[in-house]
Structure 1
């Protein structure tokens, strides 16, 4: 792993590359635009061929990385997957290069050429896995669904000739009775197998903070956390409402083979906008990977860029600003 990675949550403004800090502009894309883009990527069970980037304004595509099936010239094919709960099959897709050909060359990041994240629209049913690629450039992995609903599929990778990573996504639906899970405003304690995980720290909109995750078992701190994909822990953050995505890693140098750590892993964080965030922490002990889920809402007041300006005493004769037909509010 390179220099300590900072957790950067996708927001609006400057497009952030994988593992880099996120900077936010003052503008917020309306929820309707986000909904339109997500709807444009929906293709039932992966059979649609609509290009979400063409279905929504170009500016929205640039401002919402991780929500598009096309970025930097690369695009994600329709995703094939079992149609219903309990049906056995495989999940398959192809990443296309700027020429429309299957991408075959990748730069390894965190010991894998591609990271696949699948999560239901309500934030439940989270999976972080690693499919295999064949000679034709198609990625596949054995797959079945435990629950029905609408799912977001994220592919996180670095093309072999690129300087930065790319995150592409599609939406697919799974037949069956759908019972959405209510999302709480805050969840700081979670159970993952035999382990208890506690999250401390806060997210501040527009500011930096540190999140700490502490792992214990039977009331005792766990100090045998093993390297997993080149780190002692991984954190995926999704912004509730649009599921903007970034896969991140903890602070610290890459662990040496055989090295263990624990019970605490820390992440430097920057929340780009006020709101609620869904966090998924993966760690490995005794050769088995465990995942713990959390929810945090930003604390503190809005940043200066989003606060209303203070009232001032203007001269009585000052004319009102002309209405130029543009809405300058953010």
Structure 2
């Protein structure tokens, strides 16, 4: 009898602990929704082992910014809140991730521009900002995109990067859960890198920044072996940036077709994580950098 009582107490503690983690991870999203990001999410359990290929390992970066009309930068920021005309719904089940795009009347949004060879780019990060995935779901219906779900159990945020032809859209985080993640501190504890040089699978990339100050233009210059470099998704590289709370998103492309130089701007001081993606020798690698903006 005592054993059953102890087991019941332990189970109850686990349930309460798991709920506390869940509530903490999604607390910021309630504030985001109240600010008018106009995005929502459906949740489901997923234990599928079918892997959607990630373009990198645990990596991240952060920034706030506005959408660049030239197409070199797509992002979200406080200045853009409340102006999106497209809602994103994400449903996770044991086999798939499904994304549904709706306008303000609830109709499917299907009139999208091809953006760097794809209609939709899906960026997924975990709650620690360690895992990073750049995925490309296939269109499976009107305003519907699907991809196999092979993410490990955990708490995640998705960022759906699209270019509707006639509707305003700004990227905002969509939180979701895979499987039974259990306990997590949701404390990534990002620390700025002491040296901005990373080696992934034998390839080295060095980052030079023209400025570490907020509210001024900054050039991100990446030094790498260009003899092995080939275009990836219509560009010589891709950079994704997130703030340390995974609230503000930037997807930046090179300033021109030849150089691995990216232009952006950090709207607020803070710690940011940057993923720089390059295709060398036929393989896409994501190089993670953490920087502090003052």
Question: Which residue does the alignment assign to 1:13?
Answer: none
- Shift in Å, 1:269: 2.5
1:284 is aligned, of 276, 279, 283, to 279
Q: Which residue of 2 aligns with 1:63?
A: 78
2: CA distance, partners of 1:271 / 1:242:
14
Instruction: Give the aligned partner of residue 272 of structure 1.
Output: 267
Displacement of 1:99 in angstroms is 2.2
Matches of 1:37 and 1:78, distance apart in 2: 18
Q: Which residue of 2 aligns with 1:37?
A: 31
Deviation at 1:153, TM superposition (A): 0.7
**1:34/1:242 contact within 8 Å kept:** no
Cα 1:270–1:116 change in 2 (3 A) is same
SS at match of 1:79: strand
Question: 2:247 maps to what in 1?
Answer: 243
- Change in Cα spacing, 1:246 to 1:192, as seen in structure 2 (3 Å) is same
Deviation at 1:223, TM superposition (A): 2.0
Unaligned runs of 5+ in 1: 1-32, 47-60, 83-88, 216-220, 254-260, 300-330
Counterpart of 1:153 (choices 139, 158, 162) is 158
Q: Distance in 2 between matches of 1:120 and 1:64?
A: 25
Structure 1 residues 250, 185: closer, same or farther in 2, change over 3 A? Answer: same
Describe how 1:196-211 pairs up with structure 2 within 5 A. Answer: 196-201=204-209, 202-211=211-220
Higher RCO (C-alpha under 8 Å, 6+ residues apart): 2
Q: 1:112: Cα distance to partner?
A: 1.1
The 8 Å contact of residues 38 and 171 in structure 1, kept in 2 or not, is answered as: no
Structure-to-structure mapping, 1:99-138, within 5 angstroms: 99-138=105-144
Aligned ranges for residues 122-271 of structure 1 at < 5 Å?
A: 122-146=128-152, 148-162=153-167, 165-174=169-178, 175-178=180-183, 181-186=188-193, 188-201=196-209, 202-215=211-224, 221-253=225-257, 265-271=260-266
Shift of 1:242: 4.4
Query: Cα 1:142–1:242, aligned 2, differ >3 Å: closer, same or farther?
Result: closer
Match of 2:92?
Answer: 80
Alpha-carbon contact 1:75-1:168 (below 8 Å) kept: no
**Contact map agreement 1:190 1:197 (CA 8 A) in 2:** yes
Deviations 1:151-185 (A, max 9, x none): 111111111324x6532431012323555643212
**Alpha-carbon shift at residue 252 of structure 1 (Å):** 0.8
Which residues of structure 2 form unaligned runs of 5+? Answer: 1-26, 35-39, 46-75
Q: Is the 8 A contact 1:158 1:166 kept in 2?
A: no
Contact between 2:83 and 2:169, CA under 8 Å: does it hold in 1?
no
Cα pair distance change 1:270/1:249, threshold 3 Å = same
The TM-score normalised by the length of structure 2 is 0.69
Q: Check the 8 A contact 2:111/2:164 in 1, yes or no.
A: yes
Structure with greater helix share of residues: 2
RMSD after superposition? 3.0
